Chain A
Amino acid sequence: MEILMSIIAGFLFMVGTYLVLSKNMIRIIIGTGFISHGSHLLLLTMAGLKTGAPPLLGLQASTYTDPLPQALILTAIVISFGVTAFFLVLGYKAYKVTGTDNTDGLRGPDLHD
């Protein structure tokens, strides 16, 4: 299972990187979403999978799944959501101002000339 999940995480990173490397702003933002999914799964995988009950003490289980990575991922999800939302509006605004969603069209003035 861990190996499968490692491959899945790597796959999500691959898709994310491929999208981020494109020139279209929408695809770049979507790519960041894939990369954050990949890293969340990675965090979970590296702590070990299915080692016990859900981390709720009321279940009276003998072993529980590690709660720490879950807390970390929860924080990460919220932060990546905030960043994605900001990023989206930024892309929207950039499109409104510059009239393009191609990153090559978003160059500033050439300072060398």
Chain B
Amino acid sequence: MFTALHFAIIMPFIAAILVPFLYKQFARIHTGWFVLIVPVLLFIYFIQYIPLTANGQTVTSVFNWVPSLNLNFIAYVDGLGLLFALLITGIGSLVVLYSIYYLSKEKEALNNFYVFLLMFMGAMLGVVLSDNLIVLYTFWEITSLSSFLLISYWYEREQSRYGALKSLLITVIGGFAMLVGFVLVYKMTGTFSIQEIVASAETITGHPLFLPAMLLILLGAFTKSAQFPFHIWLPDAMEAPTPVSAYLHSATMVKAGIYLVARLSPIFAVKGEWLWLVAGFGIVTLFWGSFTAVRQTDLKGILAYSTISQLGMILSMLGVGAAALHFDSIDNNLYIGATTAALFHLINHATFKGSLFMMVGIVDHETGTRDIRYLGGLMTIMPITFTVAVIGSFSMAGLPPFNGFLSKEMFFTSMVQITNLGMFNIETFGVLFPVIAWIASVFTFIYSMIIVFKTFAGNMHPGLVRANIHEAPLGMLISPIVLISLVVIFGFFPNILAHSIIEPAMASILPSLLGGNEQFYVNIRFWHGFSTELYMTIGVVVIGLLLFMSLRKWAGIYRLFPESLSFNRLYDQLLVTTENVSTILTSWYMKGSVRQYLMYIMVFFTLILTVVLFGKGAFTVNTTNLAPISIYEAVLAASLVIAALLTMFASTRLKAVIGLGATGYIVSLFFVIFRAPDLALTQLTIETVSVALFLLCFYHLPEITKGAKKVRFQPGNFIISLAVGVTITLIAISASSSKLFDSISSFFSEASHDLAGGDNMVNVILVDFRGFDTLFEILVLGIAAMGIYTMIRLRITGRNRP
């Protein structure tokens, strides 16, 4: 049944259809105002589900799509789905509001922008609220597509097109791998429904396809969520308009991979490989993203790498959270904390990263540049923007009293605890987790400081483009202020999220830990006491400050990694090489010469036939029922060979035509001997006409040996043609030697006279028993005649070859 929930999911698509009409009809009103209604309504609608999921309930409604293939649009709302749905609609509303002030209604093609944005919003809602894997994949690909369209929104720019193509290639490759993984899961479980798969998760753990399915699905998740080394598309996606970057590339789309990992955790997390892969890739991405962010000079570049790094952090926490499954009871299970931290940070990141992107958009809008080398001294000019930047960056750096501090503390806790886990060599390598996490946090601190102080502190750069820089209009500031307020509110009162949002979401990720009516109990505390994590944070701040102060002195280490070894270079090289190799390959065998292609065909045909003939043991010689050879046939055969050889080596066209004619007449004599009078007649006539035609045509054609060049014997051609001839002979011999059943010709000899009233069996077959052949043979002749007539009459005039 099609329910309100289904309608909510596809409502953005329906709205997208209306956008161009509204854009044309109400040209004086910014189209964004109409669009804004959609996410706001959806947000209010989804809020109503909070009490439901908080009580541990879920909502499932099925709409049959292709029931015979098990493809049904199953809308499923549980804690995890609702968390994402609220993020998508909530931040979606704010982004639409921001974009109304960011994009000028005079200069921009707003109809395109909002259609793409609504498409994306609907697709993203579909991803997080679908229970059917194939439907999820469908929406997943629509997010890739709409993201591609949004990145290339300013399509006249080269860089936009490059970034869009790159993101599409990478995410679609991942998406395709994911689809294969889904199909493998279907093969193992026989259902596409995630809930049913989770219910049968135990049975598929030992299946040989389990690991391939897991790897393929993870590939999809990692490419979408910009994990190392697939992170390269995200910085190039920053060519998109800033509202898009804020929405897609920080708060929602890049979290689709994280959603997938969280959603499928109940299926795959029982295996240790999951923990290693998810946590390992996450922590590497965390480090690499934060390390690379420091060297960026473009504010959006910094934020892009920062997003990559934070996504890695969330993913690593989800991976560590999987360790919770290796302990049976919910009591004293320390690893649950990691999942809590992942979800909490997911929300926090969406709030502070969204506001930071909007802040950068404002700076860009007001000053005309995003390059930190030209920025500075905006603190007093743009005090509100500065406040947003400070709170957002400090939260990102993990400083109290903001929400980033809480999630960073919880992150450290889980990273420290993983070292206590006694499994999979964790004793030896496990110690790397907290160390890398700590180093990455130092870098995070550094780039957060760069964002604030290089942009707002110090003096104005004299080369700054515009003269009268001032604070952004109020409308543009609303969205970042709302987000930044959330950063502060969640910082001081984190537990307003705990019971309503995080606990139900945890129940979705770790369902097997709950028995009966149990519920997770999450209590995020500000103060942990003097624990390891606190000392780690203090260390981050102290070392980070020292490194930030001395940034110029050690920035040289970035030059140790040459640009040519970067992953971007690798990607570019890969594209170019693929193109070159395929061009070389194609031009190697596609030479444009008919002779060459004929040779391929002949060689292939000979090989395949002889291999099958001898491979299947089909070659037989049966000499029992052979007809005797009389002197006539021997003489005819000998003259045929002579005539054919004459043609083969003829150096003038006349010799060749005479040779062909002679062959034709000898063939008709063969027909006489083999008791085929009609054939002999036809052959004689047609050969005569053919030779006449040849002669007629050759009157106008040049001599074979034009330019006095002799027709040389071609050994290569000869070997191929010899092989063809031998193959035909072998097949002919074995065909005539093995009669598997009698011919049906006795019917013709019996029925020709009685049924058809004719004594010439061949003619009766042609016009009566198999008259259709003759009809179309007449058609062939007719077409040939018309073709010849047309060709001769046709004059190609005035049109040169391209």
Contact = CB atoms under 8 A, between A and B. Distances in A.
Contacts of B565: none
5 tightest CB-CB pairs across the interface, nearest first? A14-B725, A10-B729, A6-B732, A17-B721, A82-B784
Interface in B730-755: 730, 732-733, 735-737, 739, 743-745, 748-749, 752-753
A14 to B, nearest CB: 3
Contact of A74 (B598, B682, B792): B682
B674 A93 contact: no
A77 B725 contact: no
B647 A103 contact: no
Contact of A13 (B623, B693, B728, B760): B728
Nearest to B749: A64
Contact of B733 (A6, A83, A95, A110): A6
A55 B760 contact: yes
Given A26-B656, A97-B796, A101-B702, A68 B627 contact: no
Contacts, number: 281
B174 interface: no
B627 A1 contact: yes
B615 interface: no
Interface of B: 583, 587, 592-595, 598-599, 602, 621, 623, 625-629, 633-634, 637, 640-641, 644-645, 647-648, 653, 656-657, 659-660, 663-664, 667, 670-671, 673-679, 682-683, 686, 689-690, 693-694, 697-698, 700-702, 704, 706, 711, 714, 717-718, 720-722, 724-730, 732-733, 735-737, 739, 743-745, 748-749, 752-753, 759-762, 765-766, 770, 773-774, 777, 780-781, 783-785, 787-788, 791-792, 796, 801-802
Contacts of A22: 595, 711, 714, 717
Nearest to B778: A78
Given A24-B704, A77-B686, A44 B762 contact: no
Contacts of B718: 18
Interface residues of A, number: 88
B733 A70 contact: no
B701 to A, nearest CB: 6
B780 to A, nearest CB: 5
A50 B683 contact: no
A102 to B, nearest CB: 8
A98 to B, nearest CB: 9
B644 A103 contact: no
A103 B736 contact: no
A32 to B, nearest CB: 10
B623 to A, nearest CB: 8
A93 B700 CA distance: 10
Contacts of A53: 675
Contacts of A73: 676, 679
Given A26-B656, A89-B697, A34 B686 contact: no
Nearest to A65: B675
A6 to B, nearest CB: 4
A88 B765 contact: no
Contacts of A82: 780-781, 783-785
28 contacts: A1-B629, A3-B733, A5-B670, A6-B736, A10-B730, A11-B641, A12-B644, A14-B726, A16-B721, A18-B718, A18-B721, A21-B602, A22-B717, A27-B711, A29-B694, A33-B663, A44-B674, A44-B679, A47-B743, A54-B676, A54-B677, A71-B762, A73-B676, A75-B773, A77-B682, A82-B781, A88-B693, A90-B791
Contact of A50 (B627, B730, B765): B627
Contacts of A85: 690, 693, 784, 788
Nearest to A49: B627
A70 B762 contact: yes
Nearest to A18: B721
Contacts of A103: 593-595
Contact of B714 (A21, A58, A68): A21
Contacts of A67: 745, 748-749, 761-762, 765
Contacts of B717: 17-18, 21-22
B644 A11 contact: yes
B663 A34 contact: yes
A70 B627 CA distance: 18
A3 B700 CA distance: 41
A92 B743 CA distance: 44
Contact of A57 (B653, B736, B752, B785): B752
Contacts of B727: 10
A49 B674 contact: yes
Interface string A32-75: 01100110111011111111111111100000111110110111
A75 B587 CA distance: 40
Contacts of A33: 660, 663-664, 690
A13 B724 contact: yes
Contacts of B801: 108-109
Contacts of A7: 729
**Which among B625, B656, B663, B745 has the greatest number of chain A C-beta atoms within 10 A?**
B745
A54 B801 CA distance: 56
Given A8-B637, A21-B714, A74 B674 contact: no
Contacts of B784: 82-83, 85-86
A88 B701 CA distance: 10
Given A66-B743, A91-B701, A46 B725 contact: no
A51 to B, nearest CB: 8
A92 B700 contact: yes
Contacts of A106: 594
Nearest to B764: A67
B781 A15 contact: no
Contacts of A13: 721, 724-725, 728
Contacts of B637: 4, 8
Given A17-B721, A65-B675, A66-B743, A95 B729 contact: no
A34 B644 contact: yes
Contacts of B587: 112
A4 B629 contact: yes
A11 to B, nearest CB: 6
B698 to A, nearest CB: 7
Nearest to A6: B732
Nearest to B583: A112
A1 B11 CA distance: 81
A79 B777 CA distance: 6
B724 A65 contact: no
Nearest to B664: A37
A110 B583 CA distance: 13
Which interface residue of A45, A55, A84, A104 has the most chain B CB atoms within 10 A? Answer: A55
Given A10-B729, A44-B676, A64-B745, 7 more contacts: A10-B726, A15-B645, A53-B675, A67-B761, A67-B765, A77-B682, A79-B781
B761 A55 contact: yes
B732 A42 contact: yes
A104 B773 CA distance: 37
B677 A56 contact: yes
B656 A27 contact: yes
Contacts of A92: 697, 700-701
A54 B621 CA distance: 27
Contacts of B729: 6-7, 9-11
B751 to A, nearest CB: 10
Contacts of B766: 71, 74-75
Contacts of A66: 743, 745
B689 A81 contact: yes
A8 B753 CA distance: 35
A37 B663 contact: yes
Contacts of B721: 13-18, 21
Given A64-B749, A86-B788, A89-B792, A58 B759 contact: yes
Give the most central of B660, B689, B743, B762: most A CB within 10 Å. B762
Contact of A11 (B653, B725, B753, B760): B725
Contacts of B673: 50
Contacts of A21: 595, 598-599, 602, 714, 717, 720-721
B660 A17 contact: no
A21 B659 CA distance: 18
